[in-house]
Amino acid sequence: MKLNLGTKLFLSNLAVLLVGMLVLVIVAQFSLVGAYGRHMAMMNGLGIGSGMGNVPGTGMGRGQGGLGQAGGAAFLNFRSGFYEALAWAGLAALAVALVASLLMSRALAAPLRAMMTASQRVAEGHYTERVPAGGSDELGQLAGRFNSMAEKLEQVETMRRRLIGDVAHEMRTPLTAIKGSMEGLVDGVLPASPQTFDQVAAEAERLNRLVDDLQEHSRVESGAIVMDLEPVSLAEVAGMACKRLERAYTTKDVSLTLDLPVALPPVRADADRLLQVLTSLLHNALQYTPAGGSVSLSVERRGQEVFVRVADTGIGIPPEHVQQIFERFYRVDKSRSRQAGGGSGIGLTIAKHLVETRGGRLWAESAGEGLGSTFTFTLPLK
Ligand SMILES: Nc1ncnc2c1ncn2[C@@H]1O[C@H](COP(=O)(O)OP(=O)(O)OP(=O)(O)O)[C@@H](O)[C@H]1O
Ligand SMILES: [Mg+2]
């Protein structure tokens, strides 16, 4: 037979009660005679009452002296009265205990039943489902944990939906451009010139980059990338990153300076990933700094951490955007960054994930629009 938790609790309470009552009756039966005798003797000693007589089955009366037939009858009457009172008391206790146990079992089983229903709803995809959480006992804690689990699932679901929406949105622009150019070519509205084909190729390249970025982002976010940790000379990697972008900086007429401390112990990191983060930051600095500006890359040791800083004299970041630029696809000015090289807004998201995976932090500071920006990341030395 399948019993639910409430019934089981009720039955176990009932069993405890019945055992208690049984013990009560047995102990009363055994102790009644002795207790009665003692109390009567005390009464006789004080000169009260008529004596005990021959208490049947105990052999007690004879030794007490002076107790007659009337005493024995009194005991039998007392015993019947006692059992009668005990029976009434037992019935009343049973009734009260049944009601109390029923209420208690229901109160205990109700939150569990609510959680069962809610977990079923969550399993069906209703992530907004919550259970009433209250109380500091285990049930209250369980309800609290259930709610936070449902909240996390809801966040993941929201992120998933947003990601699909964002990706669709990001793909639409280059696809629309390619489609427009192709239609123009077919209709003869656009000339079949190298510029037209270059434009199509550039949009296709943008799509390609977006797909690469997304793939990299999903690998980083899911923790699928394996960091090949080894002692890395930051000076060497910083030098490599600067070298990579040297030409681009010269072409745009933005100066790039590298400031390294004299003695810097090697950091434990994945050299390729470190180079990727530095390149991403230097690339941004170049992208968002007008010609004639300057960018500096500096490294500093503070305690058991190294601080790597990329500071530029570029367009800066309005304070309300400083936090958000690390979000996927977030760009301060979408149209501007498209014209200025067409970033998809994933670079910083990947860089932050990479730094955090290695136990560091990455943040941005800017005094405001037109006042330059500083990106700093830390890496633990150990
Ligand atoms: N040095 C900087 N100065 C000013 N704004 C910046 C700077 N670096 C980043 N930003 C802002 O942060 C946004 C997000 O940067 P992120 O590197 O993530 O994307 P992106 O450069 O637009 O594209 P990509 O994915 O190709 O890197 C940028 O679009 C830009 O608005
Ligand atoms: Mg970028």
Give residue 334's pLDDT.
Answer: 67
For ligand 2, the distance from its centroid to the CA atom of residue 211, given in whole angstroms, is: 15
213 lines ligand 1 (CB under 6 A): yes
Tally: H helices and E strands in the chain: 9, 7
Q: Produce one character per residue of 88-104: b if its CB has 16 or more CB atoms within 10 Å, e if not.
A: eebeeeeeebeeebbee
Give residue 43's pLDDT.
Answer: 84
- Per-10-residue mean pLDDT of the chain, 382 residues long, equals 82 90 91 89 71 47 51 87 92 92 88 91 92 85 92 89 85 91 93 92 90 87 84 93 95 95 90 94 95 96 94 94 90 62 81 93 94 96 81
Distances (CA, A) of 17 to 10, 24, 89, 91, 219: 11, 10, 13, 11, 61
Give residue 186's pLDDT.
Answer: 94
- Enter the tokens of residue 159: 């992120």
Task: Please report, to the nearest 10 degrees, the dihedral formed by the alpha carbons of residues 277, 278, 280, 282 taken in order.
Answer: 160
Q: Which of 337, 339, 362 to mutate to test the pocket of ligand 1 (most atoms within 8 A of CB)?
A: 337
For ligand 1, the distance from its centroid to the CA atom of residue 359, given in whole angstroms, is: 23
- Name the closest ligand to CA 325: 1
Residue 149: helix, strand or coil by DSSP? helix
Distances (CA, A) of 254 to 244, 249, 289, 343: 14, 5, 7, 19
For ligand 2, the distance from its centroid to the CA atom of residue 150, given in whole angstroms, is: 34
- Enter the tokens of residue 127: 């992530």
Give residue 337's pLDDT.
Answer: 47
Give residue 47's pLDDT.
Answer: 63
Q: Which of 249, 279, 288 to mutate to test the pocket of ligand 1 (most atoms within 8 A of CB)?
A: 288
Any residues with CB less than 8 A from the CB of 170 and at least 6 apart, and which?
210, 329, 344
Give residue 66's pLDDT.
Answer: 43
Question: Please, which residues bridge with residue 378 across strands?
Answer: 307
For ligand 2, the distance from its centroid to the CA atom of residue 325, given in whole angstroms, is: 10
Give residue 197's pLDDT.
Answer: 93
Which residue has the CA at smallest separation from atom 8 of ligand 1? Answer: 284
| Residues near ion ligand 2 (Cβ under 5 Å) | 284, 343, 347
Answer whether 226's CB lies under 8 Å from 270's CB: no
Q: Give the whole-angstrom CA distance, residue 221 versus residue 345.
A: 15
